[in-house]
Amino acid sequence: MSDALVRSGERKLDLVDLIGRFAPIIFLLLLCVGFAVIEPKFLNPLNLFNVMRQISITGLIAIGMTFVILTAGIDLSVGSLLAFAGLVGAAVAKGGFEDRFAVGASVAAGNPFWMAALAAIAVGIVGGLMQGLAITRLRVPPFVVTLGGLQAFRGAALLFSGGGPISGFDPSYTWWGQARVFDGNVPIPVFIFIGFAILAHFVLRRTKFGRHVYAVGGNPIAAELAGVRVRAVTTTVYVISGFFAGLAAFILSARLNSAEAVAGIGFELTVIAAVVIGGTSLFGGIGTIFGTVVGAMLIGVLTNGLVLLNVPSSVQMIVIGIILVLAVAFDLFVERRRQLRPSSIE
């Protein structure tokens, strides 16, 4: 094969990779421009910050999901784990079930908000650890383990709460989900989301553990031969996913001033969509936290814009589902081109 043809093929493949890398942010910008033209209210600062607040919960879970999918895994249990963790944290905040609806001075016994937050996060971590060990020690596929977790954690939430909500928290608790700063414009959950996104980006890009995550997702056999503790890395990413599910549970209950067993239903699909649309490959080894943030914003902007245009929720679900399928189809296309690259040069 001639050198000119090789260079031409490389340029073509590079162009595909370039489009794959920047397609989410290009689509996000086009969406923003389109909604701004059709509905001027879209660009209202209050609306934009509301969009960010809406995506902060699923965005936090999506950060953890990025670690999992980078190892070619999946976590379908995050919505159910969020519900269970939120209820445990809420029960700790209220000091039990006796005052589950009481608030303020009428609460007979309670605990500081930080104890509730730690309890919710601890439940998430333990849930993630259990699933990670089942995947690595019992060698059960991640899809099966986390599908079982989806059912088990939802059942645990229903059992723990008796089917009822826990609501009416102290203002120091609800502050983390409802407060706004900078003249009442920027919601606190947005700061939490951005802060953890920056931290996760640093971990993946600047630490040894982050390099190992990419290595396990790219080729687990080669990673193990290179000295990477594949099972330990795999278990850890599910612990990280559980951590973010627990943190999101605390923020969500603080925002709604209530925790209930039906919280988080469908979150797993929204989160996976955000990660995949953001450019993280389902095959593992490729993806960034920045892409996940863009993917979460894209879904949030799309949903908000459709609401402003009075599009029914059923149609919104159809649109997001189609976009998810197209994103996965493009991911498969890029992956096939990448696999064919060596044969194109030979």
Predicted confidence at residue 203, as pLDDT, reads 97
CA distance 146 to 128: 9
Domain that holds residue 61: 41-330
Predicted confidence at residue 105, as pLDDT, reads 46
Beta strand pairing call for 186-187 and 166-167: unpaired
pTM: 0.88
Predicted confidence at residue 322, as pLDDT, reads 84
Number of domains comprising the chain: 1
Question: What residue type is 217 in one-letter code?
Answer: G
Task: Report if residue 74 sits inside a domain.
Answer: yes
Half-sphere exposure for 228 (CA within 13 Å, toward CB)? 24
The DSSP-derived string for 211-222 is HHHHHHHH-HHH
Predicted confidence at residue 335, as pLDDT, reads 66
Domain CATH number, residue 93 = 1.10.3470
Give mean pLDDT in consecutive 10-residue pieces for the chain, a chain of 346 residues. 47 59 81 88 86 92 97 96 96 76 55 94 97 96 96 95 88 92 85 96 96 95 93 97 97 94 91 90 90 92 88 82 77 70 47
The DSSP-derived string for 31-57 is HHHHHHHH-GGGG-HHHHHHHHHHHHH
Q: Which of 218, 207, 197 is nearest to 288 (CA)?
A: 197
Residue 13 falls in which region: left (phi positive, over 0), alpha (psi -120 to 50) or beta: alpha
Task: Report if residue 36 sits inside a domain.
Answer: no
CA distance 104 to 95: 13
Task: Report if residue 3 sits inside a domain.
Answer: no
Predicted confidence at residue 277, as pLDDT, reads 87
Task: Report if residue 98 sits inside a domain.
Answer: yes
Task: Report if residue 340 sits inside a domain.
Answer: no
Instruction: Tell me the backbone φ, ψ of residue 40, rounded to 5 degrees.
Output: -55, -25
Task: Report if residue 33 sits inside a domain.
Answer: no
Count the Cβ atoms, other than its own, within 10 Å of residue 209. 15
Task: Report if residue 162 sits inside a domain.
Answer: yes
Task: Report if residue 92 sits inside a domain.
Answer: yes
